[in-house]
A = this chain, B = another copy of it.
Amino acid sequence: MLNPTALKCLHHRRRQLAQQIDQPVLLWSGVSVARNFAANCFPFRASSHFLYFAGLPLQNAVIGLEAGQLTLFWDEPSPEVALWHGPAWSRSALAAQIGAEAHAPLSAVPHWAKQVASLPASTQACRQQQSEWLGRTVLENRSCEPASESARSDLQLAQAMVQLRLQQDDFAQDQLQQAAQITVAAHLQGMKTTLSCPSEAALRAEIESVMMAHQCPTAYASIVTVHGEILHNDVYPHPLEPGDLLLVDAGAETPLGWAADVTRTWPVSGCFSSTQRDLYDIVLAAHDACIAQIAPGLEYRDLHLLAAQIIAAGLVDVGILKGCPDELVERDAYALFFPHGIGHLLGLDVHDMEDLGDLAGYALGRQRCDRMGLRYLRLDRPLQSHMLVTIEPGFYQIPALLNQPNLREQYRDCVNWERLAHFRDVRGIRIEDDVLVTPEGGQVLTSALPTQAAAVEACVQASKS
């Protein structure tokens, strides 16, 4: 299942880790989680840190990493399991598959090494096993100063993971390209079937069925909604009405665990209204400008502020905001309509390494600021070659935000509320692509999916002819 390039990358990752940390490392893959009773589980998802070094999503496995060598700890299933779940690999065959130098049953884990570093296992059952076998709890809160030797080594491991996983190697890029391609195909299917879909739920089914046909789960709960102003909307109760804008934020995850994260917004009817198109073009201008700027060394936070600037200027042009764009950015007035960050890291996790808090997203010594325009920025570090980021500006009319009396007061002089009312047929717009940082600039993995308003319209209308 793993090709030679993948195996080469896995070996390289293991050696790289050894250069970052002296101690032996143990990582748990996790186990399936019960849905409504023990035998009825959610689909298994291996821990991303485990996947990064082991390559395959093995259930109930532990890996030991030391001096670039990998030991696989895993128990072969019982004969009864074979009756219900089919023939299983032997442990030695599995070890060979992932290029492990050694293998042993799980019972060998507690005796494998002293003073190992680890990261919290992803399920409660595994965390308990981890505590028992390591004789200690594993650091979960990385915001405070580590109080013990073991907590220090866990933190060092977390920092090493960030250094490694920030940059996508060939295996990762191959997987991320696959995830992007399948996601593009899924969105295209969504666009092309919109005119015949009666509801959000039916459209979601069209989109996710493309991923499913490629054996890919969704990397996160898809957003398929005519209420794009609800940022994390994962229910699908509404019919599709001709005047609506549809916001689709959906991404595939490859069977080996690598994610895509793509958003498009299109008119249910196949034609943007003039108000919808005006705001769409502003969001698209921000999207395009940010991607054009991407290069190693650039501060990601500056991309956020660039998007803010373009959105502020655009909203002044159409009469929604009043004043000088620079000042509107300074005062965070744009964030009334674009309250989230311009994007985030992407990799094995859709918000890559978010399990480590802001350790991956924020450069050492930096932390979230509480300015309205920046508090939801998930990434604040200089871009590096082979980093994968999303660029996802948006425009929303969120009642919970726009109706806050203190905000209305604070931005009384900035917003033309009567003018805004003309744009009531725009509840939410977002355009999001996955961009690999390369020495030559940003490489958009999802560029096959149209962004221009006219191209999007043509795609939605294609099935009519």
Residues of A within 8 A of B (CB): 33-43, 45, 47-48, 79, 82-87, 122, 124-125, 199, 201-202, 204-206, 208-210, 212-215, 220-221, 227, 229-234, 236-237, 339, 348-351, 354-355, 398-401, 404
Contact = CB atoms under 8 A, between A and B. Distances in A.
Contacts of A214: 201
A351 B84 CA distance: 16
A237 B208 contact: no
A27 B404 CA distance: 36
A231 B84 contact: yes
Given A213-B205, A355-B36, A400 B79 contact: yes
8 contacts: A35-B45, A37-B354, A40-B220, A40-B349, A82-B400, A87-B399, A201-B213, A205-B208
A139 to B, nearest CB: 15
Contacts of A35: 42, 45
Contact of A204 (B39, B84, B122, B212): B212
Contact of A40 (B87, B229, B350): B350
A195 to B, nearest CB: 15
Contacts of A38: 354-355
A85 B230 CA distance: 6
A122 B221 contact: no
Contacts of A206: 209
B122 A124 contact: no
Nearest to A353: B37
Given A83-B401, A122-B34, A400-B82, A40 B233 contact: no
Contact of A36 (B48, B82, B204, B205): B48
Given A37-B349, A350-B40, A236 B215 contact: yes
In the complex, the count of this chain's copies comes to 2
A342 to B, nearest CB: 17
A206 B86 CA distance: 25
Contact of A37 (B213, B215, B339, B355): B355
A220 B35 CA distance: 9
- Give 9 nearest A-B pairs by CB, closest first: A86-B230, A124-B124, A205-B212, A205-B209, A37-B355, A209-B209, A82-B400, A205-B213, A202-B213
Given A43-B234, A79-B404, 16 more contacts: A40-B350, A40-B351, A41-B221, A42-B42, A83-B400, A84-B230, A84-B232, A85-B230, A85-B231, A85-B232, A86-B227, A87-B400, A199-B213, A201-B212, A201-B215, A208-B212
A236 B255 CA distance: 11
Contacts of A215: 201, 236-237
Contacts of A233: 85-86
A225 to B, nearest CB: 9
Contacts of A237: 215
From A36, A215, A349, A404, name the one whose CB has the most chain B CB atoms within 10 angstroms: A36
A70 to B, nearest CB: 21
A42 B33 contact: yes
A203 to B, nearest CB: 9
A351 B233 CA distance: 31
A164 to B, nearest CB: 17
Nearest to A203: B213
Contacts of A399: 87
A37 B79 CA distance: 33
Given A83-B401, A124-B125, A400-B87, A36 B40 contact: no
Nearest to A404: B79
A194 to B, nearest CB: 14
B40 A83 contact: no
A432 B355 CA distance: 42
Given A201-B212, A230-B85, A36 B43 contact: no
A47 B83 CA distance: 29
A80 to B, nearest CB: 9
Contacts of A234: 43
Contacts of A85: 230-233
Nearest to A201: B215
From A42, A79, A206, name the one whose CB has the most chain B CB atoms within 10 angstroms: A42
A351 B205 contact: no
A214 to B, nearest CB: 7
Nearest to A199: B213
B36 A47 contact: yes
A125 B234 CA distance: 22
